[in-house]
A and B are shown apart, each in its own frame.
Chain A
Amino acid sequence: MNPAMIPEGAHPLASTIARFVWLLPLLPLLGFLINGTLAMLGVAKVGPADPSAGHGHAEEHGHGAAHGHDDHGHATRHKFAPIVSLVGPGVLVATFLLASGIFFAMRGVEMEHPYIQTLFAWMPVGDLQLNATLLLDPLSMVMIMVITGVGMLIHVFSVGYMQDDPGYPRYFAYLNLFVFFMLMLVLGGSYPLLFVGWEGVGLCSYLLIGFWFSDKANADAGKKAFIVNRIGDFGFLVAMFLMFANLGTLDVQGVAAKAAELPMGGVIATAIALFLFLGCTGKSAQIPLYVWLPDAMAGPTPVSALIHAATMVTAGVYLVARASGIFSMAPVAQLTVATVGALTAFFAATIGLKQWDIKKVLAYSTVSQLGYMFVGVGVGAYTAGIFHLVTHAFFKALLFLGSGSVIFAMHAAYHATHNHDDAQDMRNMGGLKKHMPVTFYLMWIATLAIAGIPLFSGFFSKDEILSSVFARAHHSTLAESSLLGIPGGTLLLVIYGLGLATALMTAIYMTRMMLYTFHGPNRTGAAEEPHLKEAPWVMTGPLVVLGALAAFGGWLNVPALLGAIGPVGGLEHWLEPVVGEATLRTTLGEPAHLSHSVELMLVSTAIIIAVVGIAFAVWRLKPAALVPKKDAPEATGFDRVLENKYYVDEGYDAAIVQPTVNVSRAVLWKGFDAGIIDGLFVNGSALLARAFGWMGSQLQTGQLGTYAWVLLIGVITLLGAFTFR
């Protein structure tokens, strides 16, 4: 496994369209530059716009219900909107077409080795000879297709969703920049370059969460995401330092090759893997750093769909798969990943049961599903994890865009009647199915997919993760090691149980969301109801495409049991050159295999759980009994705990934030900043300079006598040195 030796030109892809792979990140960057320029020009012309006055759009009623907007209806389209509408999605379409071309080129060749394109020498420092290299292999190809494909659809959706926002060009500039960084992340041929993309998407996430920054809550949410992510990035950095110190290299291929020579389960591999995973918990919102993702819903809904559901948050999953060479050498770290993933999945699902904000439900659902993916990659079933990543990108993007469409309609209705109620609270919805049928049907498809109803995409990927966990509980390196004294086999069975429980709750809370939003009587208000309308085609169009993907995405990787419906294990074969070796290492050299009867049992259990969950929700939940938010009583008992998300934010605030603030105030501000920095350094250096200046000025008094004294002291000194040498 030393494919780095293959010269660039000798690779079979070098003669195909894939040699333009450098254009992939460049096109969105170009879009960013154009849109960013337009955004700045627009601001200069319009003058310092007050975004709070004008953003008169979707989230206004969600988060900004308190501001008084006297200028409803004055929201004007940005003067550059037509150009931006062309450039923003346009570059994504171009990128997607190029990516498709590369994809088909890759299908035509034997991808034994990755195609590595060296752009320029990046950091030639001593022992560290780091080039900016793009690494194109089946794994990055899958990610590129998801990013550009789903990204393109969401860009198109955004044209409709954001059309009246005064920050329209800025929005697309950020979105293009995000795609650029995301492509850098998945194409990065070395961990530092990957880290550049990693940080870049974090930046764009921050910028877009706080897109309507005039509202303090949104700006705070952006800051929270940024700061929490920094904790994870610290882990990533330490992991890179460890790699360089112990393996002497930082490029992806070299690290994988060197990692294979490390002792199995050794300290180095485990430490690197665990620190990498700390980075993943930040970026991919796992326990204990998941708290930023629900707050990130403060951003525009398409952003939630693209960044905080489909692509950026899955970067952690991608990273684990990318570093599979290291993780497979550290079973303890793998068990940690799987355990944290399972706990996160379960924990977030329980919170999702009692949320009222439609986007918060989806946010916790995302956290939960990310946990699922980590279970997959954690147990060494990298294909299963990536598979779930892909299908999740389809159905969760659909769910988010669908909810965006609902919010759009709700907002438009409230806007028309100058009502300031919460446009995102499900208690204010209900009965929307007759007003927005397209959205309604498509969201049901996504719900069935995420719940795991057979033949929808989520069913395949979720089932594959669960069966991988079950298989590895009996025969793998994981089963042979232990975590905190718990034998790996037992732990994996517990994880399997948690996975089933999560699946049950997923079915329940998703059904609950659909029931409360689309079924039952309408609670929006009598005056508003006539204004509820289906979104324009530019928004529903992408939904339809995503609906198809969510429904049929499972065919990417059909399990052997259902071999009758299509080619078996497509994605598995596709990813085999990248993660095959690591997967086999975890499964002790032979492919994970379960007998047909066991597999049938597992599948039927999963199906039963999904059906039971939906049926239970339909049976117990009565949309008719709901009252609008403003009349709703306070929740009590455990419901209240769930509604307040187990008070984790409050706990973090009391345990970490407040002590930090207090210590910062007392020690860092009053003591260090005011005392030492201001007192000793700032004023001290000024005083020192003044003292030297004063001394110098005493030499320049113009007083002849002083000069004579100085001269004589010099003479005596010199003479003394001469005399007493």
Chain B
Amino acid sequence: MQPNLFHPLAYTFTFYFFGLTALASAVAFVTRKSPVAAAMWLVNVMFCLAGLYVMLDAQFIGAIQVLVYTGAIMVVFLFVIMLLNLGHVSDLLDARGKWGQLIGLFLGLGLLAEVMALNRHNTIERMIPPDLAAKAAEAASRSAAGGVIGPIAAPLFKEYLLAFELTSILLLAAIVGAVVLGKRRTNAR
């Protein structure tokens, strides 16, 4: 947190602004019938989240959120929607019936309640060993000195190098898979 950049009240206001906007956009996203509108609301959610990331001192994540998610992934979504000509509201019933929606809502609320209850019981904190918390606090203090990207890059290329490399293989596989699946099989038909 860098309180010197923000007045605390302004910080709080901005935080709530982004948060509530994200919430409203998410609700709008799941309730839109048109896929394009839904996608646009989701883009809005992601922008707000990017703002929150920045405010939570994760400027790098905020940047790639905008670049990767909003800029790449969501564009691909929109691209596919347009490619398949799904812009108009589907003739078929897209959403479930009244009862389905109601029960779905209750299930979602139930899930939320359970997550909240878990938090309230401090289960998460009990699950994390105390020495880890101490280590993490020490790492956080170190990160303040190493700039914005350094604290992420260091573990990424040291501790999590194997995972990082595996991710690259995953991406390669995904690319190949997407090409194979998306290719029109002219000779087969």
Contacts and interface: CB of A to CB of B under 8 A. Distances in A.
A713 B114 CA distance: 12
Nearest to B108: A712
Contacts of A638: none
B121 A715 contact: no
A657 interface: no
B121 A712 contact: no
Nearest to A712: B107
A47 interface: no
A400 to B, nearest CB: 86
Give the interface size bracket for A toward B.
10 to 19
Contacts of A712: 107, 111
A715 B107 CA distance: 10
Contact of B110 (A705, A709, A716, A724): A716
B118 interface: yes
Contacts of A705: 96
B111 A723 contact: no
A558 B110 CA distance: 103
Give the interface size bracket for B toward A.
10 to 19
A698 to B, nearest CB: 15
B118 A722 contact: yes
A424 B111 CA distance: 93
Nearest to A708: B104
B96 A723 contact: no
Interface string B91-119: 00000100000000001001100110110
Contacts of A637: none
Contacts of A722: 118, 123
A680 interface: no
Contact of A716 (B111, B121, B123): B111
Contacts of B111: 712, 715-716, 719
Contacts of B107: 709, 712-713, 716
B10 to A, nearest CB: 37
Nearest to B116: A723
Contact of A719 (B96, B115, B121): B115
Interface string B141-159: 0000000000000000000
A716 B114 contact: yes
Contacts of A720: 114
Contacts of A724: 117
A723 to B, nearest CB: 5
A723 B110 contact: no
Contacts of B115: 719
Nearest to B118: A723
Contacts of A709: 107
A387 B112 CA distance: 97
A717 to B, nearest CB: 10
A145 to B, nearest CB: 88
A722 B123 CA distance: 9
A515 B29 CA distance: 116
Contacts of B117: 723-724
A405 to B, nearest CB: 92
A706 to B, nearest CB: 11
Interface in B39-64: none
Interface in A692-725: 705, 709, 712-713, 715-716, 719-720, 722-724
B74 to A, nearest CB: 22
Contact of B118 (A713, A715, A716, A719): A719
Most chain B beta carbons < 10 A, residue from A712, A715, A719, A723: A723
A191 B135 CA distance: 84
Contacts of A716: 107, 110-111, 114
A407 B96 CA distance: 90
Interface in B115-170: 115, 117-118, 121, 123
Interface in A539-596: none
A157 to B, nearest CB: 88
Nearest to A705: B96
Contacts of A723: 114, 117-118, 121, 123
A705 B118 CA distance: 27
Nearest to B121: A723
Contacts of B96: 705
Interface string A442-461: 00000000000000000000
A724 B107 CA distance: 17
A715 B115 CA distance: 11
A724 B115 CA distance: 11
A712 B114 CA distance: 13
B91 to A, nearest CB: 18
A705 B111 CA distance: 17
A709 B123 CA distance: 26
Most chain A beta carbons < 10 A, residue from B114, B117, B121, B123: B114
Nearest to A719: B114
A723 B96 CA distance: 30
A321 to B, nearest CB: 82
Interface in A628-682: none
A132 B114 CA distance: 70
A535 B69 CA distance: 114
A555 to B, nearest CB: 101
Nearest to B111: A716
B41 to A, nearest CB: 21
A723 B123 CA distance: 8
Nearest to A713: B107
A100 to B, nearest CB: 92
Contacts of A713: 107
Interface in A511-534: none
A719 B107 CA distance: 12
Nearest 6 pairs of A and B residues by beta carbon: A719-B114, A723-B117, A723-B114, A723-B118, A716-B110, A716-B111
Interface of A: 705, 709, 712-713, 715-716, 719-720, 722-724
Interface of B: 96, 107, 110-111, 114-115, 117-118, 121, 123
Given A709-B107, A719-B111, 13 more contacts: A705-B96, A712-B107, A712-B111, A713-B107, A715-B111, A716-B111, A716-B114, A719-B114, A720-B114, A723-B114, A723-B121, A723-B123, A724-B117
12 contacts: A705-B96, A712-B107, A712-B111, A713-B107, A715-B111, A716-B110, A716-B111, A719-B111, A719-B118, A720-B114, A722-B118, A723-B121
